[in-house]
A and B are shown apart, each in its own frame.
Chain A
Amino acid sequence: MTDIVLALDLGTGGCKASLWDRDGRMLGEEFEPYPTTHPRSGWNEQAPSDWKDAVITCTRRLLEDRAEVVVNGIALSGHSLGIVLLDGTGEPIEPATPIWSDTRAVAEADLVFAELDERSWYLRTGNGFTPALYPLAKARWFARHRPAVWQATRMILGCKDWINYWLTGRLATDHSYASGSGLYELGLGDYADDFLQAAGVLRSQLPEPMASHDLVGNLSAEAAATLGLTVGTPVFAGAVDNASMALGSCGVAEGRCYASLGSSSWMTVTSATPVLDVDTRPYVFAHAIPGYYASALSTFSTGTSMTWVRDVAGGGRDFPSLLDEAMSLSVEADIPICVPTLGGGTPLEGGPRVRGVFAGLDLSHGVAHLARACMEGIAFSLERSFTALAQLVAIEGELLISGGGARHGGWNQLYADIIGQPLVRTSVDQQAAALGAATIAWVGLGAWSYPDAERPHHVQESYRPDPRSALGYQHRRSRFRALQTVLAKTGGTFDMAGSAS
Chain B
Amino acid sequence: MLIAHDLGTTGNKASLHTDSGELLAAVTVRYPANFAEGGIAEQNPEDWWNAVVEATRKLLEKTGADPVSVAGLVVSGQMMGAVLLDSDYAPVRPAIIWADTRSTAQVDSLLKHFSQLQALDILGHQLNSTYSLSKIMWVRDHEPDAWARVRHFGLAKDFIVHRLTGRLHTDPSDASSTNAFDIKAGTWSEPIIEASGLPRSIFPEVVDSTQVVGTLTSSAAAALGLPASTRVVMGGGDGPIAAVGSGVVAPEDPPYVCMGTSTWISFATAEPAAADPRIFTFSHVVPGLYVPTATMQAGGGAVQWASEVLGAPVPDLVAQAQNVRAADEGLFFLPYLMGERSPYFNPDAAGTFAGLSRHHTTGHLMRAVMEGVALNLLICLDAFRESGFETETIDAIGGGAASDLWLQMMADAWGVTMRRRSVVEEGNSLGAAVVGAAGLGLTDFSAARTLSHVTATFEPDAARTALYREAVGIFREAYDRLEPWFANRKPTR
A residues sitting closer than 8 Å to B (CB atoms) are: 301, 304-305, 308, 311-316, 334, 336-337, 342-343, 355-363, 365-367, 370, 475, 479, 482-483, 486, 489-490, 493-499
Alpha-carbon gap, A361 to B361, bound state (A): 19
Cβ contacts under 8 Å, B358 to chain A: 301, 304-305, 308, 342-343
- Which residue of B has the minimal Cβ distance to A482? B485
Inter-chain contact B310/A358, CB cutoff 8 Å: no
Q: Considering only CB atoms, which chain B residue lies closest to A304 in the complex? A: B358
**Among B310, B357, B478, B485, contact of A313 (Cβ-Cβ < 8 Å):** B310
A–B pairs, 10, beta carbons within 8 Å: A311-B361, A337-B489, A358-B351, A359-B353, A361-B337, A361-B351, A362-B350, A486-B481, A493-B355, A495-B355
A483-B485, A496-B474 as given contacts; A357 in contact with B309, CB under 8 Å? no
Name the CB-closest residue of B to A498.
B330
Are A343 and B357 in contact (CB-based, < 8 A)? yes
B489 touches A479 (CB 8 A): yes
User: Which residues of the other chain, A, contact B362 by a CB distance below 8 angstroms?
Assistant: 312-313
- Per-position binary interface string of chain B over residues 329-354, scored 1 when its CB falls under 8 Å from any chain A CB and 0 otherwise: 11010000110000000000011111
B338: contacting residue among A334, A363, A479, A490, CB under 8 A: A363
B contact residues around A499 at 8 Å (CB):
473-474, 477
Q: A342-B356, A357-B354 are in contact. Are A363 and B311 (CB under 8 A)?
A: no
Contact status of A363 and B305, CB under 8 A, knowing A494-B330, A499-B477: yes
Kindly state the separation between the CA atoms of A367 and B308 in the bound complex, as whole angstroms.
Answer: 8
B478 to A, closest residue via Cβ: A494
Residue pair B482, A475 in contact (C-beta under 8 Å): no
Q: How far is the CA of A147 from the CA of B489 in the complex (A)?
A: 57
Q: Check A357–B470 contact: CB distance below 8 A.
A: no
Q: Cβ of B490 and Cβ of A334 under 8 Å apart?
A: yes
B338, B353, B471, B488 interface centre (most CB from chain A within 10 Å): B353
Query: Top 6 nearest A-B pairs by Cβ distance?
Result: A495-B330, A315-B311, A361-B351, A356-B356, A475-B491, A359-B352
Q: Is B77 an interface residue (CB 8 A)?
A: no
Distance in angstroms from A118 CB to nearest chain B CB is: 28
Q: Tell me which residues across on chain A come within 8 A of B328, comparing CB atoms.
A: 496
Interface status of B200 (Cβ within 8 A of chain A): no
CA distance A366 to B353 in the complex (A): 14
Is B309's CB under 8 angstroms from A482's CB? no
Q: A365-B309, A493-B330, A494-B474 are in contact. Are A359 and B491 (CB under 8 A)?
A: no
Q: How far is the CB of A489 from chain B (nearest CB, A)?
A: 7
B172 at the A interface (CB under 8 A): no
Partner of B356, one of A315, A357, A475, A483: A357
Q: Which residues of B contact A (CB under 8 A)?
A: 298, 301, 305, 308-312, 328-330, 332, 337-338, 350-358, 360-362, 365, 470-471, 473-474, 477-478, 481-482, 485-486, 488-491
Measured CA separation A311–B337 after assembly (Å): 23
Chain A residues near B490: list those with CB within 8 A.
Answer: 334
Nearest Cβ distance between residue A344 and chain B, in whole angstroms? Answer: 9
- Nearest to A355 among chain B residues (CB) is B355
Residues of A near B350 (CB, < 8 A) are 336, 359-362
Contact assessment for B330 and A316 in the assembled complex, using a CB-CB cutoff below 8 Å: no
Whether the pair A367, B309 counts as a contact (CB closer than 8 A) is yes
Is A361 in contact with B298, judged by CB distance below 8 angstroms? no
**Which A residues are CB-close (under 8 A) to B338?**
362-363
Distance in angstroms between the alpha carbons of A360 and B312 in the assembled complex: 22
Report B132 CB to chain A, min CB distance, Å: 24
CB distance from B37 to the nearest CB of A (A): 12
The complex places the Cα of A367 from the Cα of B489 at a distance, in Å, of 20
How far does the Cβ of A152 sit from chain B's closest Cβ, in whole Å? 39
Contact, CB under 8 Å: B361 / A312:
yes
Q: Are A314 and B311 in contact (CB under 8 A)?
A: yes
Residues of B within 8 A of A365 (CB): 305, 309, 351
Q: For residue A479, which residues in chain B have a CB less than 8 angstroms away from its CB?
A: 485, 488-489
Given contacts A308-B360, A494-B355, 16 further A-B contacts (CB under 8 A): A304-B358, A308-B356, A308-B358, A315-B310, A316-B311, A342-B357, A355-B354, A355-B357, A357-B355, A358-B351, A358-B356, A359-B352, A361-B351, A363-B305, A370-B309, A495-B355
B contact residues around A362 at 8 Å (CB): 337-338, 350-351
CB distance from A441 to the nearest CB of B (A): 39
Shortest CB-to-CB span from B372 to chain A, Å, is 11
Chain A residues whose CB sits within 8 angstroms of the CB of B329 once the complex forms = 495
Residues of A within 8 Å of B486, CB to CB, are 360
Taking the closest CB of chain B, its distance from the CB of A499, in whole angstroms, is 5
Inter-subunit contact A496/B482 (CB<8 Å): no
Q: Nearest chain-A residue to B491 (Cβ)?
A: A475
Closest A-chain residue to B261, C-beta based? A363
Query: Which residue of chain B is the closest to A366 with respect to CB atoms?
Result: B309
Contact B481 A489 (CB under 8 A): yes
Contact B481 A315 (CB under 8 A): no
Most chain A CB within a 10 A radius of its CB, from B350, B355, B491: B355
User: CB-CB < 8 A to B337: which residues of A?
Assistant: 361-363
CB proximity of A309 to chain B, nearest CB, Å:
10
Q: Are A359 and B485 in contact (CB under 8 A)?
A: yes
B481 contact set on A, CB distance < 8 A:
486, 489-490
* Complex contact B311–A494 (CB within 8 A): no
* B312 neighbours in A (Cβ, 8 Å): 315
Smallest Cβ distance from A38 to chain B, in angstroms? 15
Chain B residue nearest to A353 (CB atoms) is B330
Q: How far is the CA of A366 from the CA of B351 in the complex (A)?
A: 12
Distance (whole angstroms) from the CB of A89 to the closest CB of chain B: 43
Task: Tell me, rounded to whole Å, the shortest Cβ–Cβ distance linking B325 to chain A.
Answer: 11
- Which residue of chain B has the shortest Cβ distance to A317 in the bound complex? B311
Q: Which residue of A lies closest to B474 (CB)?
A: A499
In Å, the complex CA distance between A366 and B356 comes to 18
